[in-house]
Structure formats: structure tokens, C-alpha cells
Amino acid sequence: MLATRAFGAEPSKPDLAELAEWIRKHRGRTADIITFQLDRSLAPQLPAGITHPCAGGKFYADRILSAIPGIRDRKAVGELHAETRDIIEDAAGIVVQKKGVWCAVPAPHVLGVRDAYYIDKAEWTGALCETYGTILRSMRDTGVPGHILICCDMDNAELLALAQPLVFFFRPEPRREDLVLLLERQHRVAVRKEHLPVIFDLMNEYTVRKIFLLDPDPAAIALARTHFDHDQIVAGGYCTDGGVDYWKDLVAAAEFTL
């Protein structure tokens, strides 16, 4: 059986009855809709038996934006810094559910923030990435061991500033040029079956130590095994629709005969 790793989830907005029931069960806890979404993104993974679960998703953008006072209406209007009290509370809520749970957040460019303060691309990108680094460290200091940065593109400046063993850049549908940029900074990559031929080709130039196969089927696992050892292949999931059934299906797909 392959190990399994989650790359986050995007839960649908709850109805009022569901939210009211969740609030009743968590009475006394400081919480809001983002706290609810964090819990909801993680909860189905635990009974499904995901080896490496991960809370969060792109929905966490609202929390990050509210933690940076220099940003207003998705526009930088002042010096950037992070106020991490709510971020730390979120991290504490994740940690108590299961040891070793990572957190997925949108990469800086996914926030869609425009610079109206620094008026210098390098200075602006540096300030945003430095602020992001503060946010990620505050969660790690609280016990979240690592982060998935969900990307719409691969941004070289963000990779230079933030890529490290405990920060994994993830684009659900990468292009070849994304994979080239990525493999210059990290030696692990998450791809679907159709991207494997590109990875095999790039392995002539770049080191790939681990492959995360998104939503694999037996044919995808067999193809990956032509270039990777068993312990280098992990079944990956990013749930954008569904819940516990999605994660159960991922665990079932990870079972195969050696």
C-alpha cells in the first residue's frame, strides 16, 4: 500500500443549520466561518486513514488578508507586517485534532493583492513574502509541522523566498514550465497521471526524489513505478468536491499488489 498525503480541501459554504450545529458542539471556542472551514477540510481525512493529513485550502486567503493590516480591499496601502493572533489560534485548533497535520494556504500571488504603496516590484514581492514567512513560522511555532502553498502559477520570486523542506509548492494542474521552475527549488512534486511523461523527461536534468500522484488509478501507479521505487511514490489528494468518500476512495486507490 502506498502512503497517502492530503494537499488541502475546498469545502462548500455551509448552510445555517450545519453551522449552528457546529457552533453548538464548539461552544466556548473563539471561532468564525474560517475556523469552521478549517475543521471541515480536515475532519473527513481522519476517519478515512490519510497517512499525512492537511487542513486548509485556498479559502484561507481571507484569514491571511485580515492578518496583514497594510492590505485593504486587496490593495497594499501601507507597510506590510503580520498580526498573527488569529493565525495562531487556527494553528492551535489544528494541532489538537491530530499530531503532524500540515496546513494548506494560498500562495502569495493567489491573494490577488495589488501594490499601491511600494511601487517597486522587487520591494513589493519581498515585503509580501517576508510577511508570509512570518505567518507560516507562527503556525509552525504553534505545532503545525509544515505548509502546502497552493498556486495558480509558479512564481520564481516566491519559490526563492519561501521554498524549503517544510513548505511545499503545489499547483493542481502544472504546465511544463511550472515543473521546471519547481524542480529548480524542490525535489518533490505533485502531478497527475497525464503529467508523468513530462516528469520522466525532466528527470534527465533535475533530481526528483518523491512523486505525489494525485487521484491515482492502478495504471498511474504502474507507470510511476517504471521510474520510481515504491517508497518514492505517494498517493495525493486535493478535495474540491465531496468529503469523506473522496478520502476513502484515495486510500482504496493507494492499495495495490507489489
Please enumerate in sequence order all residues whose Cβ is within 8 A of that of 238, keeping only pairs 6 or more positions apart, or say none.
6, 7, 8, 9, 150, 170, 172, 214
**Which grid cell sits at 78?**
501601507
**Which grid cell sits at 35?**
475556523
SS (H, E, C) 189-257: EEECHHHHHHHHHHCCCCCCCEEEEECCCHHHHHHHCCCCCHHHEEEEEEECCCCHHHHHHHHHHCCCC
pLDDT tens-digit series, residues 147-159: 999 999 999 999 9
pLDDT of residue 147: 98
Q: Please check the confidence at residue 174 and state whether its pLDDT lies above 70.
A: yes
Q: Please check the confidence at residue 93 and state whether its pLDDT lies above 60.
A: yes
Backbone angles phi, psi at 232, to 5 degrees: -95, -5
Torsion of CA 27, 32, 35, 40, to 10 degrees: 80
Q: Please check the confidence at residue 84 and state whether its pLDDT lies above 80.
A: yes
Query: If we measure between CA atoms, which residue out of 6, 50, 35, 58 comes closest to residue 239?
Result: 6
Backbone angles phi, psi at 236, to 5 degrees: -110, 155
Q: Does residue 173 come out as left (phi exceeding 0), alpha (psi in the -120 to 50 range) or beta?
A: beta
Backbone angles phi, psi at 128, to 5 degrees: -65, -45
Q: Please check the confidence at residue 227 and state whether its pLDDT lies above 80.
A: yes
Q: Does residue 8 come out as left (phi exceeding 0), alpha (psi in the -120 to 50 range) or beta?
A: left
pLDDT of residue 106: 98
pLDDT tens-digit series, residues 29-47: 667 889 889 999 999 999 9
Side-chain-side CA neighbours of residue 45 (13 Å)? 31
Cα–Cα dist 156/192, whole Å: 22
